Amino acid sequence: MFDSLSPQPQDPLLALIGLYNSDTRTDKVDLGVGVFRDETGHTPVMRAVKAAERVLLDTQDSKSYVAPEGDRVFIDLLWTVVGGTDCGKAVAGVQAPGGSGALRLAADLLAKAGKTRVWVGVPTWANHLGIFGSAGLSVQTYPYFDVPSQAVQFDRMTAALESAEAGDAVLLHASCHNPTGAQLTAAQWAVVAEIVARKGLIPLIDSAYQGFGAGLEEDAAGLRTVIAAAAESLVAVSCSKFFGLYRERTGAVYAVGGSQSAVETARSNLVTIARTSYSMPPDHGSAVVRTILATPELKADWIAELNDMRGRLISLRQGLATAIGNHWAGSTAVAGQQGMFSLLPMKEADILALRKDHGIYMPTSGRINIAGLKQADVARVAATFVPLLG
């Protein structure tokens, strides 16, 4: 049987990790996979996470199962960070193995409810296409971002959404768009909210980088505008980035809107989908997040460290944009983008040459993870980029 299968391509972002690691040059630069890094290139365990882990080590007295939906206190506390303390809607959530698991549960729920189509912006995180396709949804696309001009294609985006049909799902990135870093303005979020409400579309909002853009509250504002307007929404939350819990596979998916009994029914369906694929989610990461959010000192320290992480990203971004300066017209747009990513108009051959000649690693899409820069690298990297930018 096994030899009837064909080998599958590696995820190009994850494959880059191996390529970078096997490069022996000491001045190599990793702008590949989207993880936060500090000035030494390390992805640290956040202070509040370590402190919460110590509390768990001392106090956890059982490893027995928690509950089919995961840790209810985690689910409720995480929602207060994402949706706010009162979003004015009925909400029911289920813990999930990371944001990817949350997206897959949401996609399976849509399919189970008889929904067939999901609209996804171009470009988007490649896994969105794989996850929705594997759930049997048909992926429709709306224009989102034009790489040469570094501009959000808002008129084209809304025109495409106007052609969607009632009951279609629409994927939206809550903040810090992957791979472009380009976000909607508050006024544009309001227009999207009006369209989804009027047309009866179901927003599926992917929140994976809250706090990396303008701030914890600021980065949730667009999401909150949409869920306030839409009859029903799905929200997939990843704790990988803003709690730095990547490998602990921590996240949640929320059904929002409609009656309390409707969201409870949605929750029971999410639980059934989870039970028939992996039974129950892993506990450790959610126990850490619950401990942080339930302990005022830990929560304050988490926010303080998250603010510092955002400060580092902003400083590197401004430094890179300034160093590119008027050598490329897109540098102003890059300076205004948010989060870890920007998508640069570079040719694949040039990106491969950057790896070979300069030890600068980025995916052939032209995406850069700003967090992979060190302050001392900025000038050199900008100088190698300038001749390659359209």
Cβ neighbours around 75 below 10 Å, total? 25
How many whole angstroms from its chain centre is CA 296? 26
Instruction: Determine if 15 is a binding residue for ligand TYF (CB under 6 A).
Output: no
Q: Which is nearer to ligand TYF, 12 or 390 (CB)?
A: 12
Q: 134 or 322, CB closer to ligand PLP?
A: 134
Which residues are 142's β-sheet partners?
121
Residues 245-304 that bind ligand TYF (CB under 6 A): none
219 binds ligand PLP (CB under 6 A): no
Q: Which is nearer to ligand PLP, 243 or 328 (CB)?
A: 243
36 near ligand TYF, judged by CB under 6 A: no
CA 200 to the chain's CA centroid:
25
Residues 31/37/41/43 CA torsion (nearest 10 deg): -130
Confirm or reject binding of residue 178 to ligand PLP (CB under 6 A): yes
> Is position 206 an interface residue for ligand PLP (rule: CB under 6 A)?
yes
Is residue 34 at the binding interface for ligand PLP, with CB under 6 A as the rule?
Answer: yes
Of the candidate residues 11, 53, 146, 218, the single one contacting ligand TYF (CB under 6 A):
11
Sign of the torsion angle spanned by Cα atoms 66, 69, 70, 74: negative
Tell me the C-alpha distance between 199 and 43, whole Å. Answer: 43
Residue type, 314: I
Q: Are strands 29-30 and 145-146 parallel, antiparallel or unpaired?
A: unpaired
> How many chain residues bind ligand PLP (CB under 6 A)?
13
Q: CB within 8 A of 137, min separation 6: which ones?
A: 107, 110, 111, 115, 116, 117, 118, 169
Of these, 150, 153, 175, 178, which contacts ligand TYF (CB under 6 A)? 178
Known catalytic residues are 125, 206, 208, 241
State yes or no: residue 183 binds ligand PLP (CB under 6 A): no
Of the listed pieces 6-14, 143-151, 211-219, 309-317, which binds ligand TYF according to CB under 6 A? Answer: 6-14
- Structural contact between residues 342 and 181, judged by C-beta atoms closer than 8 angstroms: yes
Q: Which is nearer to ligand TYF, 66 or 346 (CB)?
A: 346
**318 in Cβ contact with 335 (< 8 Å):** yes
Q: Would you count residue 342 as binding ligand PLP (CB under 6 A)?
A: no
33 binds ligand TYF (CB under 6 A): yes
Encoding tokens for residue 20? 């970078």
Cα–Cα distances in angstroms (integers) from residue 313 to residues 48, 87, 337, in the given order:
20, 29, 11
Residue 352 binding partner per list ligand TYF, ligand PLP, none, with a CB distance cut-off of 5 to 8 Å that depends on partner kind: none
CA triplet 21, 22, 27: central angle to 5 degrees?
70
**Out of ligand TYF, ligand PLP, none, which partner does residue 206 contact, by CB within 5 to 8 A per kind?**
ligand PLP
Q: Show the tokens assigned to 169.
A: 């799902």
CA distances from residue 214 to 207, 310, 336, 349 in whole angstroms, order as listed: 14, 8, 11, 34
Instruction: By CB under 6 A, tell whether 14 contacts ligand TYF.
Output: yes
Interacting span for ligand TYF (CB under 6 A) from 8-16, 212-220, 276-284, 294-302: 8-16
**Contact flag: residue 125 with ligand TYF (CB under 6 A):** yes
The yes or no reply on residue 98 touching ligand PLP (CB under 6 A) is yes
Sign of CA dihedral 222, 225, 229, 233: positive
Instruction: For residue 125, state whether it binds ligand PLP (rule: CB under 6 A).
Output: yes
**Which does residue 99 bind out of ligand PLP, ligand TYF, none, counting CB within 5 to 8 angstroms by kind?**
ligand PLP
Q: Which residues bind ligand TYF (CB under 6 A)?
A: 11, 13-14, 33-34, 125, 127, 178
Q: Which residues bind ligand PLP (CB under 6 A)?
A: 34, 98-100, 125, 173, 178, 206, 208, 238, 240, 246, 251
